[in-house]
């Protein structure tokens, strides 16, 4: 994590107890909220009495400072799913209790949607701790898929509850839309213990405020999501993936326009990455490049449809146009499932490859598509002007751009030799000002967590921030749900 500097913390021994005083070094600018009771052994015993010894309570005494206070006081809670979040939202800042939903992992039902969509869509109702990939595998066998797909579903295992709590976007959003549309209902435990039971399987329900929407993207600040009801599309009969090498970001946009015009009804993903991202991936991966030369930009196009012959013909037609118009310099179409997976690995493996350099500062922004790559180039210039990028011994190793072009979502990643706040201060708030001037969003799909809450004003006017605070205060008056995060301090 960006802030986690191992040097932080003063360690002293009190009897058998090792006391770790985390100071501002660990989370610069954050002070522990004294309204919260400090977690003590009797609290852990209390939770053990509820869930039993096998209930996966982790109580490392070394890290506990025991206070003689009543357990009924306010204890703060951090809900945690797969812990793959990228904005520091799922980990405690001080001594908040981590409430993991990993053991809530049952599928509750899989039924047809009532109404006209029943042939195309069915509804899955599951516990929130089900791993996204497990749900997708379960559905595959039944001829359906999850409407959401992330790089984090493989080796790092995100949960459906975490996906809903972050309103995760990912690779299928272009086709199936956001979770605000596909989630039909939620079961949520509020901070006062009230259970909101709304695991609706109805496609239409106009009875009052759509409260579930508040919890989609609330990042654990309003309650614990325990169950999710979600629309699942039919598994496409035919999936094709093509990788193209192109010369400029201008050509990436031309390719996107052409894809929208020629294969729009079967287009399911349109991703891009630049040559520097590609070089980083190759440096840290065993996978052989699918294209023989290096190109300034790469585009991955996926189509999903019901007829292989039809889709092959349409995709080949698109590729022919792009080659004839010299938009694509080279291209390859996957011939089987292994090749499809390999092409996707080149895109999905970029974040992991970058993290192997030492530190990486991640910015996940929405911008008008024509401005997406200007943001990357401008950041390179800004870092060069500040003397931290561009030379052999510069602390910034690389500045790369990749992301979901189809959704106007850029991932600007800045890989560094070490995690260094001096570099962070050169990047921030510069990047947020840049995005704000373009009327973009400072967080397209990863959320706010610990890292972005204080920068919310770059994307939201104060009237909206004030209303968000009112919502938080109404649902969580004691402020125990995921404190220090999401909203400005
Ligand atoms: P966590 O990381 O455990 O939690 C995330 C937040 O949700 C925290 O604030 C936590 O408190 C809260 N939370 C978790 N579970 C619950 C619950 N049951 N009730 C209430 N609050 C809860 N994100 C994208 O949007 N698109 C991508 O393409 C994408 N790709 C990724 C690729 C990689 C390699 C990695 C590491 C991450 C990627 N992410 C992506 C980010 C991350 O995977 C998503 O945000 C994901 O939805 C988080 O799910 P999780 O179960 O890991 O949640
Ligand atoms: C992706 O699209 C994820 O690969 C992760 O959203 C992006 O790590 C990142 O910056
Ligand atoms: Zn992404």
Per-residue pLDDT reduced to its tens digit, 417-459: 999 999 999 999 999 999 999 999 999 999 999 999 999 999 9
The DSSP element (H or E) to which 279 belongs, if any, is: helix 275-284
CA distance 50 to 45: 9
> What does the pLDDT average to over 69-79?
75
What are the residues facing 298 on neighbouring strands? 245, 273
Of 56-65, 107-116, 263-272, where does mean pLDDT reach its minimum? 56-65
pLDDT at 488 over 50: yes
φ/ψ of 35, rounded to 5, equals: -70, -25
- Which atom belonging to ligand 2 lies closest to the Cα atom of 364? 10
Domain ranges in the chain are: 10-100, 107-233, 238-350, 357-447
What angle is formed at CA 90 by the lines to CA 80 and CA 10, rounded to 5 degrees?
Answer: 120
Any ligand 1 atom below 6 A from CB of 114: no
Measured in Å, residue 151 CA sits from the centre of ligand 3 at 8
Name the residue among 199, 210, 190 with its Cα closest to residue 472.
190
Ligand nearest to the CA of 167: 1
Taking CA atoms only, the protein residue closest to ligand 2 atom 6 is: 170
Identify the pLDDT of residue 165. 98
472 alpha carbon to ligand 2 midpoint, in Å? 28
364: Cβ below 6 Å to ligand 2? yes
Among 91, 144, 167, smallest CA distance to 451 is for 91
Question: Is the CB–ligand 2 distance for residue 86 below 6 Å?
Answer: yes
Angle CA 253–182–228, to nearest 5: 135
Give the ligand at the shortest distance from the Cα of 414.
Answer: 2
Ligand 1 in contact with 162 (CB < 6 A)?
A: yes
Q: Output the pLDDT for position 12.
A: 56
Q: Look up the CATH number of domain 238-350.
A: 3.30.70.2190
Instruction: State whether the beta carbon of 411 lies less than 6 angstroms from ligand 2.
Output: yes
Find tokens 């440096």 and name the residue. 283
Residue 331, strand partner residues: 244
Output 325 or 118, whichever has higher pLDDT. 325
In angstroms, what is the span from residue 322 Cα to ligand 1's centroid?
36
Q: How confident is the model at residue 59 (pLDDT cuts 50, 70, 90)?
A: low
Q: Which ligand is nearest to the CA of 350?
A: 2
pLDDT digits (tens, 9 = 90+) for 272-320: 999 999 999 999 998 888 888 899 999 999 999 999 999 999 999 999 9
List the one residue out of 297, 317, 369, 311 whose CA is nearest residue 340.
311
Query: What local confidence, expressed as pLDDT, does residue 15 receive?
Result: 61
Tokens of residue 425, six digits: 């201060």
Just give the CATH number of 107-233: 3.30.465.10
Which residue is associated with the tokens 């850029």? Answer: 410
Question: What is the Å distance from ligand 3's center to 65 Cα?
Answer: 39
The helix (H) or strand (E) run that includes residue 157 is none
Fold match flag (107-233 vs 357-447): no
Q: What angle do CA 371, 449, 180 make, to 5 degrees?
A: 70
**Quick one: which of 346, 383, 326, 109 has its CA closest to 242?**
346
Q: Is 327 in the pocket of ligand 2 (CB under 6 A)?
A: no
Helix or strand holding residue 273 (H, E) = strand 267-274
Q: Confidence class of residue 121 from pLDDT cuts 50, 70 and 90?
A: confident
Query: How far away, in angstroms, is 115 Cα from ligand 2 center?
Result: 36
Q: What is the DSSP letter of 335?
A: -
pLDDT surpassing 60 at residue 40: yes
489/483 Cα distance (integer angstroms): 9
For Cα atoms 298, 301, 306, give the angle at the middle one, nearest 5 degrees: 170
Ligand 2 atom with minimal separation from the 351 CA: 8
Please determine, for residue 13, whether its predicted confidence score (pLDDT) is greater than 50: yes
CB of 351 closer than 6 angstroms to any ligand 2 atom: yes
Res. 98 pLDDT band, cuts 50 70 90: very high
Q: Whose CA is nearest to atom 9 of ligand 2?
A: 351
Looking at the DSSP bridge assignments, the partners of residue 480 are: none
Residue 424: count other Cβ atoms within 10 Å of its Cβ: 17
Q: In ligand 2, which atom is closest to the CA atom of 404?
A: 2
Q: Can the peptide bond before residue 429 be classed as cis, meaning omega within 30 degrees of 0?
A: yes
Strands in 367-422 per DSSP E:
396-404, 409-416
What pLDDT, in 10s, does the model give residues 23-33? 445 677 788 88
Strand partners, 77: 97, 481
> Average pLDDT, whole number, for the chain?
90
Considering the segment(s) 357-447 as one domain, its CATH architecture is 2-Layer Sandwich (3.30)
How many angstroms does the Cα of residue 453 sit away from the middle of ligand 3?
19
**Angle at CA of residue 160, ends 154 and 162, nearest 5°:** 95
Give pLDDT tens digits for 133-189: 999 999 999 999 999 999 877 666 999 999 999 999 999 999 999 999 999 999 999
Give the closest ligand to the alpha carbon of residue 447: 1
Q: Going by CA atoms, what residue is nearest to atom 8 of ligand 2? A: 351
Residues 6+ apart with CB under 8 A from 179: 147, 148, 163, 164, 167, 168, 216, 217, 230
Residue 31 DSSP one-character state: -
What are the pLDDT digits (tens) for 239-249?
999 999 999 99
Query: Looking at residue 335, what is its pLDDT?
Result: 96
Contact yes or no for 379/428 (Cβ under 8 A)? no
Residue 72 has pLDDT above 80, yes or no: no
C-alpha distances out from residue 233 to 133, 142, 431, 453, 455, Å = 15, 11, 37, 34, 36
Name the least confident of 43-47, 69-73, 335-339, 406-410.
69-73
What are the pLDDT digits (tens) for 221-265?
999 999 999 999 999 999 999 999 999 999 999 999 999 999 999
pTM score: 0.89
219 in contact with ligand 1, CB cutoff 6 A: yes
Question: Considering only CA atoms, which of 332, 319, 324 is closest in space to residue 292?
Answer: 332
**Residue 372 neighbours by CB under 8 Å, 6+ apart:** 249, 401, 403, 405, 408, 410
| CA-derived radius of gyration, the chain | 24
Ligand 2 contacts CB of residue 362 (under 6 A): yes
Distance CA 51, CA 56 (A): 8
Asked whether 428 lines ligand 2 (CB < 6 A), one says no
Outline where 325-461 has alpha helix (H): 337-348, 350-355, 372-385, 421-427, 430-437, 449-452
SS3 283: helix
Ligand 2 in contact with 413 (CB < 6 A)? yes
Which pLDDT score is estimated for 142? 94
Instruction: Tokens for 180, please give them.
Output: 């605000």
Is 415:357 a contact under the CB 8 Å cutoff? yes
Using the structure block, give the residue that is written with the tokens 């066998």.
Answer: 141
**What pLDDT does 272 receive?**
98
């Amino acid at each position: 994590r960006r802030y986690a500097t191992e040097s932080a913390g003063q360690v002293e021994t009190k009897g058998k107890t090792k006391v770790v005083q985390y100071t501002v070094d660990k989370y610069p600018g954050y002070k522990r909220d004294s309204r919260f009771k400090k977690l003590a052994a009797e609290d852990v015993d209390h939770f053990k009495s509820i869930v039993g010894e096998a209930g996966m309570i982790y109580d490392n005494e070394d890290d506990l400072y025991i206070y003689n206070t009543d357990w009924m006081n306010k204890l703060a809670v951090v809900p945690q799913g797969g812990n793959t979040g990228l904005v520091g939202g799922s980990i405690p800042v001080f001594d908040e209790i981590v409430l993991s939903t990993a053991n809530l992992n049952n599928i509750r039902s899989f039924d047809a949607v009532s109404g006209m969509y029943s042939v195309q869509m069915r509804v899955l109702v599951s516990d929130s701790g089900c791993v996204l990939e497990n749900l997708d595998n379960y559905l595959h066998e039944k001829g359906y898929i999850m409407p959401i797909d992330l790089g984090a579903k493989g080796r790092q295992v995100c949960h459906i509850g975490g996906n809903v709590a972050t309103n995760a976007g990912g690779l299928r959003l272009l086709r199936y839309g956001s979770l605000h549309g596909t989630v039909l209902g939620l079961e949520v435990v509020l901070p006062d213990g009230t259970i909101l039971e709304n695991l609706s399987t109805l496609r239409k329900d106009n009875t009052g405020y759509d409260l579930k929407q508040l919890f989609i993207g609330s990042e654990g600040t309003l309650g614990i999501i325990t169950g999710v009801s979600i629309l699942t599309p039919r598994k496409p009969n035919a999936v094709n993936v093509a990788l193209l090498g192109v010369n400029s970001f201008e050509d990436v946009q031309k390719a996107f326009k052409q894809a929208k015009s020629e294969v729009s009804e079967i287009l399911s993903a349109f991703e891009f990455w630049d040559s520097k991202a590609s070089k980083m991936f190759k440096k840290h991966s065993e996978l052989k490049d699918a294209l023989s030369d290096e190109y300034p930009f790469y585009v991955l196009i996926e189509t999903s449809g019901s007829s292989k012959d039809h889709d092959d013909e349409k995709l080949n037609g698109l590729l022919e146009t792009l080659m004839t118009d010299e938009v694509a310099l080279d291209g390859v179409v996957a011939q089987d499932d292994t090749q499809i997976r390999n092409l996707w690995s080149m895109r999905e493996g970029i974040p992991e490859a970058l993290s192997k350099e030492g530190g990486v500062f991640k910015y996940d922004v929405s911008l008008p598509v024509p401005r997406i790559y200007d943001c990357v180039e401008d950041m390179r210039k800004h870092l060069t002007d500040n003397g931290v990028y561009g030379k052999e011994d510069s602390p910034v190793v690389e500045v790369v751009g990749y992301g979901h072009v189809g959704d106007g979502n850029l991932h600007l990643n800045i890989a560094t030799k070490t995690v260094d706040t001096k570099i962070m201060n050169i990047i921030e708030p510069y990047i947020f000002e840049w995005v704000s001037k373009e009327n973009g969003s400072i967080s397209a799909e990863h959320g706010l967590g610990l890292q972005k809450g204080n920068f919310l004003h770059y994307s939201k006017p104060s009237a909206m921030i004030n209303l968000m605070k009112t919502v938080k205060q109404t649902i969580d008056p004691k402020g125990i749900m995921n404190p220090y995060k999401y909203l400005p301090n």
